[in-house]
């Protein structure tokens, strides 16, 4: 499909972000050359499905409309966002998603998008940029939508992106009604937008965790290389025991990094699982084929060829897929136990967010936060 685009935070978290960025060594340079990443991804991105112009125009127009109307249903289910404006979404193609992803990552990590300094550091940054570009090109054919809470300075409400060619391709592959599937995808992404717009402290809390993680990675230097033998042993153990997939990033972490990483995983698992719960809870009155879509989409998440599965494991995508199920199970249990109003206690403060252990044991969170 041709590209089509749009013709109060806590003081502690804000300070944490600032301090973490100031503490990073080599200020003024970036560990990843994002211009190289964007250019690499642009060369590698595959075209989307061939769609007649008239059909493409209808799909794009309908996605724009659904980005706003879907949030009305999300608000009814969650009880969040009363009085907030209904914001539009952006319908993009794959190259536009890559550019938006690069901009969002650069803003989140505080690196901006300048080229790194020259010399050996510049070579390393360019190499990292090529690697990042390969990852982005892989993801660009799979991402259906994305809400970026950081967006651009002129977009304080963040950016909700709907990747039209991927939505059309997935709908065709699943053989489900186009209107239902587009609505279903919009429900998920609108839930993410509402999470950040209705919970004032969440954006800066998330940014603070990322900044803290980046700082710990900068200061650990080449220490991860010393942990390679441990990683090999852990991979063998998981292979023998049948444990679930895990990203290599997690296996290479120091104990200090794992503490921060666990908080990030718990938060992202909550956000994804909550969105999955909501997109199904809206129900057949809005998405008549919701049960069929869910069953086929879940099977599609697990599928793919051997190479695709290897790449997803290396990139941590398999672990990400597991997050959807774990987060949805957490949300389902809590809502079933204390109702949606009781579940919404999770948004009270960073202290009421579930820990990674509580994600796996939602009853423990209920006992701690919503008895």
Residue pLDDT, tens place only, 230-246: 434 544 554 455 544 44
pLDDT reading at 225 higher than 50:
no
pLDDT reading at 315 higher than 90:
no
Residue 99's contacts (CB-CB under 8 Å, 6 or more residues apart) are 38
Of 40-49, 181-190, 234-243, 341-350, the range with the lowest mean pLDDT is 234-243
What confidence tier does 324 reach under pLDDT thresholds 50, 70, 90? confident
What count of other Cβ atoms lies within 10 Å of the Cβ of residue 302? 9
What confidence tier does 117 reach under pLDDT thresholds 50, 70, 90? very low
Percent of the chain clearing pLDDT 70 (strictly above): 70
Of 4-13, 140-149, 224-233, the range with the lowest mean pLDDT is 4-13
**Mean pLDDT to the nearest integer, 209-238:** 55
| Closest to 180 in 3D by CA, of 24, 42, 289 | 289
pLDDT reading at 199 higher than 90:
yes
Of these ranges, 38-52, 145-159, 321-335, the one predicted with the greatest mean pLDDT is 321-335
State the virtual CA torsion across 68, 73, 77, 78 in degrees, nearest 10. 10
What count of other Cβ atoms lies within 10 Å of the Cβ of residue 9? 15
| Closest to 13 in 3D by CA, of 256, 263, 364 | 263
CB 369 within 8 A of CB 341: no
Of 51-55, 156-160, 226-230, 308-312, the range with the lowest mean pLDDT is 226-230
What confidence tier does 304 reach under pLDDT thresholds 50, 70, 90? low
Q: Which two tokens stand for residue 156?
A: 């304080």
157-176 pLDDT tens trace: 789 999 999 999 999 999 99
Q: Which two tokens stand for residue 138?
A: 């892989």
Instruction: Check: pTM over 0.85? Answer yes or no.
Output: no
Average pLDDT, the chain: 78
**Pairwise CA distance, residues 106 & 32, whole Å:** 9
pLDDT reading at 267 higher than 90:
yes
Residue ranges of alpha helices (H) inside the chain are 11-23, 34-44, 53-78, 94-109, 119-140, 164-174, 178-198, 202-220, 223-226, 228-241, 248-251, 255-281, 290-302, 306-314, 317-343, 356-360, 362-369
68-82 pLDDT tens trace: 899 999 999 999 999
Q: Give residue 271's pLDDT.
A: 94
| Closest to 183 in 3D by CA, of 263, 85, 293 | 293
Residue 72's contacts (CB-CB under 8 Å, 6 or more residues apart) are 86
CB 130 within 8 A of CB 37: yes
CB 162 within 8 A of CB 144: yes
CB 115 within 8 A of CB 106: no
């Amino acid at each position: 499909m041709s590209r089509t685009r749009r013709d109060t935070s806590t003081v502690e978290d804000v300070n944490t972000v600032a301090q973490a960025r100031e503490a990073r060594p080599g200020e003024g340079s970036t560990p990843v050359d994002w211009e190289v990443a964007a250019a690499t991804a642009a060369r590698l991105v595959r075209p989307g499905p061939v769609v007649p112009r008239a059909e493409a125009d209808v799909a794009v127009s309908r996605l724009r409309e659904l980005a706003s109307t879907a949030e009305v249903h999300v608000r009814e289910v969650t009880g969040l966002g009363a009085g907030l404006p209904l914001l539009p979404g952006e319908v993009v193609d794959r190259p536009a998603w890559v550019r938006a992803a690069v901009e969002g990552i650069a803003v989140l990590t505080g690196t901006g998008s300048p080229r790194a300094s020259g010399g050996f550091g510049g070579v390393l940054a360019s190499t990292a940029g090529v690697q990042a570009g390969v990852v982005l090109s892989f993801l660009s054919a799979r991402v259906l939508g994305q809400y970026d809470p950081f967006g651009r300075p002129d977009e304080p409400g963040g950016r909700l992106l709907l990747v039209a060619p991927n939505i059309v391709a997935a709908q065709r592959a699943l053989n489900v009604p186009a209107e239902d599937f587009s609505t279903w995808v919009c429900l998920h992404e609108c839930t993410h937008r509402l999470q950040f717009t209705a919970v004032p402290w969440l954006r800066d809390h998330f940014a603070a965790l990322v900044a803290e993680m980046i700082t710990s990675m900068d200061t650990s230097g080449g220490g991860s290389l010393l942990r390679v033998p441990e990683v090999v042993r852990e991979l063998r153990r998981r292979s023998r025991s049948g444990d679930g997939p895990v990203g290599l990033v997690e296996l290479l972490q120091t104990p200090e990094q794992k503490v921060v990483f666990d908080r990030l995983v718990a938060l992202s698992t909550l956000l994804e699982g909550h969105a999955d719960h909501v997109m199904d809870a809206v129900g057949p009155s809005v998405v008549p084929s919701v049960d069929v879509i869910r069953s086929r989409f879940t099977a599609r998440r697990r599928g793919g060829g051997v190479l695709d599965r290897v790449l997803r494991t290396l990139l941590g995508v398999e672990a990400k897929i597991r997050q959807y199920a774990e987060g949805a199970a957490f949300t389902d249990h809590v809502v079933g136990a204390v109702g949606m109003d009781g579940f919404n206690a999770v948004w009270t403060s960073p202290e009421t967010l579930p820990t990674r252990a509580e994600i796996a044991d939602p009853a423990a969170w209920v006992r701690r936060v919503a008895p």
